[in-house]
């Protein structure tokens, strides 16, 4: 029987955010490391009360080596600001730490990570959560939500709701992925999606 791919053998015994980050830089726990520029590990303070979990780094993040620094990151920053949550006081990461894409000419088109890639990368996310011990985990989009809350979880049905999160955190809240705001076809739809995203983040702020 083939053994499942996993980051587990790369996760160090002695753990701190810097030691995890250094080890993750050399992770080959699944095939995604091969095509990407670098591991994009989580960023933020170990004292954070909130961990925000996205899907995977995008094109910009892959180049810069930091999570949510591209267009989706700007939408995330807007939402956090509207909710009165200081980005310097949260920890931001992704369910999968390498950019998965398909080359199309000069462009690199985002591809959704599959379940085995999510499972392979999960030890990093678990280690981050264990070290930070946040009060609230915010799942940004269906990938993070289904990874942490189960495959039958539907963001559309339970967005903004505080869900009991033990043993990971006191609460887990799921909302849309901020890139969904960018995909809206007109200004009205974009504003509505942006407002709804900020509302979900306000619900997070009330839990703190
Ligand atoms: N989308 C994500 O899910 N994460 C990032 O870091 C950037 C875009
Ligand atoms: Fe390791 Fe995750 Fe990158 Fe796969 S995606 S190589 S498990 S860090």
**What is the pairing mode between strands 50-54 and 136-140?**
parallel
Quote the ligand 2 centre to 172 CA distance (angstroms). 24
Which ligand sits closest to the CA of 69? 1
* Helix residue ranges, H only, the chain: 17-24, 59-64, 71-83, 115-132, 142-149, 155-158, 179-182, 187-207
Whole-model pTM over 0.85:
yes
For the segment 15-66, what is each residue's pLDDT rounded down to a tens digit?
Answer: 999 999 999 999 999 999 999 999 999 999 999 999 999 999 999 999 999 9
Our mutation pick for probing the ligand 2 site, out of 99, 121, 128, counting the most ligand atoms within 8 A of Cβ, is: 121
For a mutational test of ligand 1's pocket, the pick from 60, 72, 98, i.e. the residue with the most ligand atoms closer than 8 A to its C-beta, is 72
Length in residues, the chain: 208
Contacts of 71 (CB under 8 A, 6+ apart): 58, 60, 179, 182
Q: Quote the pLDDT of residue 4.
A: 83
């Amino acid at each position: 029987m083939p053994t499942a791919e996993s980051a587990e053998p790369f996760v160090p015994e002695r753990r701190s955010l810097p030691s995890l980050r250094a080890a993750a830089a050399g992770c080959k726990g699944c095939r995604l490391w091969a095509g990407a520029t670098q591991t994009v590990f989580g960023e933020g303070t170990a004292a954070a009360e909130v961990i925000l979990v996205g899907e995977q780094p995008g094109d910009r993040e892959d180049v810069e080596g930091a999570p949510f620094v591209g267009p989706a990151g700007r939408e995330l920053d807007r939402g956090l600001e509207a909710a009165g949550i200081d980005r310097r006081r949260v920890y931001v990461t992704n369910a999968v730490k390498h950019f998965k894409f398909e080359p199309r000419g000069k462009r690199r088109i985002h591809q959704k990570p599959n379940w085995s890639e999510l499972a392979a990368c999960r030890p990093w996310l678990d280690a981050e959560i264990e070290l930070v011990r946040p009060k609230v985990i915010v799942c940004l989009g269906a990938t993070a939500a289904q990874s942490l809350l189960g495959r039958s979880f539907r963001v559309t049905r339970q967005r903004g709701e505080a869900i009991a999160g033990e043993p990971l955190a006191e609460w887990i809240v799921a909302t849309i992925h901020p890139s969904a705001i960018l995909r809206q076809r007109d200004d009205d739809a974009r504003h509505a999606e942006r407002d709804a995203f900020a509302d979900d983040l306000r619900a997070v702020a009330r839990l703190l």
